[in-house]
Structure 1
Amino acid sequence: MTETDLVLAVDVGGTSIKAAVLDTEGGERLRRVVPTAFDQGPESIVTAIRDLVLDRVAAASDDGSPVRAVGVVVPGVVDTEAGIARYASNIGWRDVPMRDIVSSAVDLPTAIGHDVQAAGLAEATLGAAHGVSDTLIVVLGTGIAAVVVSGGQVVRGAAGIPGEIGHIPVGDLETRCRCGAFGCLEMFSSARGVARLYAERTGSAVDATDVLARLDDDPDAVAAWQQATETLARGLVAGALITDPARVVLAGGLSQAGDALLDPTRQAFEAGMPWRTAPELVTSPLGARAGLLGAGILARTVAEVSG
């Protein structure tokens, strides 16, 4: 492997911003994670991304393994051609020229992508969707979104935002989402949604990992998790009936719950379409790394284009 094989990948999530130098096999080095500081405002998150990129590019150079390009994936509505983060409700962004901000800071070719679409690209290339021409890849993180693959091609949609399954109104219609609508899936079945359901029952502010850890002996955790998986299954039924995939892949950080997520969700998913055979439902082997790996693929592509 030569120095030109390395790229910097950055995955901006609702909880943290992850960065790592990746080789051609997806191997990581110089990984660093910083919090997504919502309380400091949207501009501070842009600054945090830029500073993290500067820090990791410098660290790679000092390590004797400089990178040839940068890939940054962000949530929300992304204009990948223009390199602009058009809108992200969780962060408060509107029309942020992210590609120019990053590339001007480090003087390297830079690609900007949608975090879920990038995760889907990684799943289709390296993960559970590899070799399957019709798939629905659902990324369960702080929020929820999906990638639709039909006939081996990622569906782009009229506005470039297909797969927004997190905003299908399959939950309690009294619950208002951050997007302004009511009953959105991600308010119940994302990591943030699971924590919210548990907090409403107990008054305790814990994260989804803590809720999972309490499933053996905490009835409130069991009830919150049951509501989350049943609501997720309803969203998956809607997505599957519209897109008709051969396989549905659950990816993202929450997918690492494994059978605790897969078993009840599969049962409710299959029960939700009794008149037909349900698509295969699996969890991703890439887990929370999918977005970062997808950012690396985007960075490698822009590096090849730039020569």
Structure 2
Amino acid sequence: MTDRDLVLAVDVGGTSIKAAVLDAAGGETLRRAVPTPFDDGPDAVIAAIRDLVSDRSDAAASAGAPVHAVGLVVPGVVDTVAGIARYASNIGWHDAPLRDIVGGATNLPTAVGHDVQAAGLAEARVGAAQGVSDALIVVLGTGIAAVVVSGGQVVRGAAAIPGEIGHIPVGDLETRCRCGAFGCLEMFSSARGVARLYAERTGRTVDATEVVAHLDDDSDAAAVWQVVTKTLARGLVAGALITDPARVVLAGGLSQAGDALLVPTRAAFESGMPWRQAPELVASPLGGRAGLLGAGILAREAAGATP
């Protein structure tokens, strides 16, 4: 392995922007994360991305191991060919020319992709969907979205936005989502949704990780978690009935809850389709790293290297 195998991967999430230098085997160094300043508007988010990319590429060069391409993955509607972030409800940008901005800051080949599709690409190549021709990969992060793998290929869709399972209306239809619709899955079963449900029930503000940590000794956490897993299962049933996968993979940060998430969700998922064999439901071994690994794959492709 040579230093030409090194790329910079950047994953923009609703909570944080993560960056790391990746080698060809997915090993990472120089990892850094900064908060996503979405409350300050899209220009602030773009500035944070540009500053983080410049900082990490400079750090790699100073360490004597420069990167040779950048892979940037973001939420929302993404034009991967033009390298433009067309729209993201949680960030508020419209037609942000991210490839030009990042490429101009680094003078490096730059690929821009959809964060969930990139995570799905990583899962299909090196994760829990490896070797499966038909899969549904559901990424549970600040929001929720999915990647559909059909015949061994990631489905791109007519508008390049397939798998928006987070906006299937399977929750309380009185609850309005940030997207403007009502009852969206991600309002109940994402990390943000878990925190929202707990705050509404108790008046206390905690994150999803803390809710999971107290499922055995906090009756409010347990009650919230029951809503989270049952609503998630309804969304998974809808997704599975439409796409007919052999395997459903739960990925993203919330999937790291392990059996606390998998066991009740699997039971509700299987009971939601009593007339047929339910697809296998598993948790990803990649956890929250899938987006970064997918960004690394895109970066290597941008540099003309073998992914």
Match of 2:297 in 1: 297
Q: 1:208-287 to 2 correspondence within 5 Å? A: 208-287=208-287
Match of 1:189 in 2: 189
How far apart are the structure 1 equivalents of 2:232 and 2:216? 21
Give the residue type in structure 2 aligned to 1:20: A
How far apart are the structure 1 equivalents of 2:18 and 2:42? 17
TM-score where L is the length of structure 2: 0.99
Match of 1:56 in 2: 56
Match of 2:81 in 1: 81
Q: 1:1-307 to 2 correspondence within 5 Å? A: 1-304=1-304
Look up the SS of the partner of 2:299 in the other structure: helix
The gaps in structure 1 that reach 5 residues or longer are: none
Q: 1:38: Cα distance to partner?
A: 1.9
TM-score where L is the length of structure 1: 0.99
Give the residue type in structure 1 aligned to 2:297: I
The percent of aligned pairs where both chains have the same amino acid is 81
How far apart are the structure 1 equivalents of 2:288 and 2:142? 11
Note the alpha carbon deviations across 1:225-253, whole angstroms, 9 max, x for none.
Answer: 11000000000000000000000000000
Give the residue type in structure 1 aligned to 2:68: R
How far apart are the structure 1 equivalents of 2:268 and 2:90? 29
How far apart are the structure 1 equivalents of 2:193 and 2:247? 25
How far apart are the structure 2 equivalents of 1:37 and 1:103? 21
How far apart are the structure 2 equivalents of 1:69 and 1:221? 43
How far apart are the structure 2 equivalents of 1:183 and 1:40? 27
How far apart are the structure 2 equivalents of 1:14 and 1:244? 30
Give the residue type in structure 2 aligned to 1:119: A
How far apart are the structure 1 equivalents of 2:156 and 2:16? 27
Q: 1:299: Cα distance to partner?
A: 0.0
Look up the SS of the partner of 2:65 in the other structure: coil
Q: 1:2: Cα distance to partner?
A: 1.1
Runs ≥4 in structure 1, deviation > 3 angstroms? none
Note the alpha carbon deviations across 1:150-191, whole angstroms, 9 max, x for none.
Answer: 111111111111100000000000000000000000000000
Q: Which moved more, 1:39-48 or 1:239-248?
A: 39-48
How far apart are the structure 2 equivalents of 1:67 and 1:180? 40
Give the residue type in structure 2 aligned to 1:168: I
Give the residue type in structure 2 aligned to 1:108: L
Look up the SS of the partner of 2:303 in the other structure: helix
The gaps in structure 2 that reach 5 residues or longer are: none
Q: 1:148: Cα distance to partner?
A: 0.2
Compute the RMSD of aligned alpha carbons: 0.9
Look up the SS of the partner of 1:105 in the other structure: helix
Look up the SS of the partner of 1:24 in the other structure: coil
Q: 1:69: Cα distance to partner?
A: 0.2
Give the residue type in structure 1 aligned to 2:302: V
Q: 1:39: Cα distance to partner?
A: 2.2
Give the residue type in structure 2 aligned to 1:48: A
Look up the SS of the partner of 1:304 in the other structure: coil
How far apart are the structure 1 equivalents of 2:181 and 2:40? 25
Q: 1:21: Cα distance to partner?
A: 0.2
How far apart are the structure 1 equivalents of 2:229 and 2:89? 24
